[in-house]
């Protein structure tokens, strides 16, 4: 019997998944009915993730739980569900905390837009949502974070062909730059003295390197080169993994040597650099380190200060010492110069310019 010719432009990938014009399509016939759904574009969605989504869709159809996505009555809740499935599948190394935060934002958006047909979402309804959140006492920066997710969901729906029109423009609140709260040398001394012995190296190393909490708590000895005086940090973005080499100061190297010796003495070999009071690795997802830090700040008489502000302290000390902003940007691993400019007002050169304004004012006054 002759083989049935392959349909032009359609390639079977297995598991009811097909490649059609650069996109993954799910096509499945069950009880005489054919289901077709576009999953995503090649290059933006891994094949393994596309197969996983296709398998989930097939299971829902068999269980009778499948909801066909049709634009004429497509609700935001339906496309948000599809977006969340794609979000989980396209990020195999996604941290639980990050996923929970995305689920929280989707649930929040569903409470307002959920039953609304996507074609009914407009700039007006989005502005109403913004006003509602502000009246509830939510900060503009937090609302912007939610709006960013809303925009991502609508754009993906357009990209997947679930809606035929471009989504409405999502206008963000204009907010000032992130605050710069840093410790004076005296405050830093008090804080370090207030830290438990096992916790002090973590705080001091944070100030000496500007590393984020997640980077510090996940740092392993295999990423440390004490002789070369550097550590390697892998930065994960939505598209790439980039390993960056972070230089260390003499004191930072000394801290690592001390920690290494203590772990060897106690027989600790789990591979993590920083440990809690039990000698075990910190949980990046947990809040244990924050509780210890908060207690130390209270004991030191320091208010309104977060662990992340140790990173600001590192950058502020650099700028006040005369380090140029380009170098600060490199050491902080900021993606754009704008993120570093928040520290510009601390530079000696900037201060000299401000003092010059006083000179000019006095000269003008002498002419009267």
Q: Mean pLDDT by 10-residue block, N- to C-terminus, for the chain (368 residues)?
A: 51 89 89 84 72 82 72 78 87 77 93 82 87 89 92 89 84 71 88 94 92 88 89 57 80 93 91 90 71 94 91 86 80 75 65 56 51
Q: What pLDDT is attached to residue 363?
A: 59
Contact 315, 343 (CB under 8 A): yes
Q: What pLDDT is attached to residue 2?
A: 39
d(CA 27, CA 37): 7
**Residue after which a domain boundary falls, among 66, 84, 104:** 66
Question: 93 with 207, same domain?
Answer: no
Question: 169 with 266, same domain?
Answer: no
Q: What pLDDT is attached to residue 238?
A: 33
Question: 316 with 231, same domain?
Answer: yes
Query: How far from 198 is each of 202, 214, 235, CA to CA, in Å?
Result: 8, 18, 27
Q: What pLDDT is attached to residue 73?
A: 65
Query: How far from 187 is each of 30, 38, 170, 300, 315, CA to CA, in Å?
Result: 68, 57, 42, 8, 16
Q: What pLDDT is attached to residue 4?
A: 43
**Residue after which a domain boundary falls, among 150, 175, 200:** 175
Question: 189 with 322, same domain?
Answer: yes
Contact 26, 37 (CB under 8 A): yes
Contact residues for 47 (Cβ-Cβ < 8 A; gap 6+): 13, 24
Question: 192 with 329, same domain?
Answer: yes
Q: What pLDDT is attached to residue 218?
A: 87
Question: 261 with 343, same domain?
Answer: yes
Q: Is residue 356 part of a domain?
A: no
Question: 35 with 159, same domain?
Answer: no
CATH of the domain at 99: 1.10.150.130
Q: Is residue 359 part of a domain?
A: no
Q: 278 burial class (0-12, 13-18, 19+ CB within 10 angstroms)?
A: exposed
Question: 76 with 24, same domain?
Answer: no
Question: 265 with 238, same domain?
Answer: yes
Q: Is residue 211 part of a domain?
A: yes
CA atoms within 13 A on the CB side of 12: 7
Sheet holding 224-225, edge to edge: 224-225, 230-236, 241-247
- Which tokens is 77 given? 């809740």
Q: Is residue 335 part of a domain?
A: yes
Question: 245 with 310, same domain?
Answer: yes
Structural domain of 329: 185-351
Phi, psi angle pair for 41, to nearest 5° = -90, 145
Q: What pLDDT is attached to residue 97?
A: 79
CATH of the domain at 194: 1.10.443.10
Q: Is residue 7 part of a domain?
A: no
Instruction: Give the DSSP H or E segment for 128.
Output: helix 123-135
Report the number of distinct structural domains present in the chain: 3
Q: Is residue 9 part of a domain?
A: no
Question: 278 with 337, same domain?
Answer: yes
Q: What pLDDT is attached to residue 362?
A: 56
Q: Is residue 309 part of a domain?
A: yes
Q: Is residue 206 part of a domain?
A: yes
Question: 75 with 62, same domain?
Answer: no
Contact 256, 247 (CB under 8 A): no
């Amino acid at each position: 019997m002759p083989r049935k010719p392959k349909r032009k432009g359609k390639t079977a990938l297995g598991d009811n998944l097909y490649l059609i014009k650069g996109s993954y399509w799910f096509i499945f016939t069950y009880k005489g009915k054919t289901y077709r759904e576009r999953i995503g574009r090649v290059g933006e969605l891994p094949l393994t993730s596309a197969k996983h989504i296709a398998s989930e869709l097939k299971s829902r159809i068999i269980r009778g739980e499948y909801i066909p996505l049709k634009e004429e009555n497509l609700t935001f809740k339906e496309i948000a569900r599809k977006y969340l499935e794609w979000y989980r599948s396209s990020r195999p190394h996604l941290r639980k905390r990050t996923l929970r935060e995305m689920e929280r934002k989707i649930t929040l958006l569903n409470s307002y837009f959920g039953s609304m047909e996507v074609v009914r979402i407009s700039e007006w309804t989005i502005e109403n949502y913004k006003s509602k959140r502000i009246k509830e006492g939510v900060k503009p920066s937090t609302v912007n974070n939610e709006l960013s997710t809303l925009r991502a969901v609508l754009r993906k729906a357009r990209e997947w062909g679930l809606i035929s029109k471009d989504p409405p423009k999502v206008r963000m609140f204009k907010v000032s730059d992130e605050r710069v709260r840093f410790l004076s040398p005296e405050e830093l001394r008090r804080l370090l003295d207030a830290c438990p012995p096992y916790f002090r190296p973590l705080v001091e190393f944070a100030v000496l390197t500007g590393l984020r909490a997640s980077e510090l708590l996940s740092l392993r000895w295999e990423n440390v080169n004490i002789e070369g005086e550097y550590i390697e940090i892998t930065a994960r973005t939505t598209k790439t993994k980039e390993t960056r080499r972070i230089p260390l100061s003499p004191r930072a190297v000394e801290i690592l040597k001390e920690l290494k010796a203590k772990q060897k003495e106690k027989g600790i070999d789990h591979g993590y650099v920083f440990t809690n009071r039990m000698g075990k690795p910190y949980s990046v997802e947990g809040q244990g380190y924050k509780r210890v830090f908060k207690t130390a700040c209270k004991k030191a008489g320091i208010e309104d200060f977060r662990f992340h502000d140790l990173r600001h302290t590192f950058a502020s000390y650099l700028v006040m010492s005369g380090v140029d902003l380009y170098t600060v940007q490199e050491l902080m691993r900021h993606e754009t110069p704008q993120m570093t400019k928040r520290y510009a007002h601390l530079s000696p050169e900037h201060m000299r310019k401000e003092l010059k304004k006083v000179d000019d004012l006095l000269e003008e006054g002498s002419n009267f």
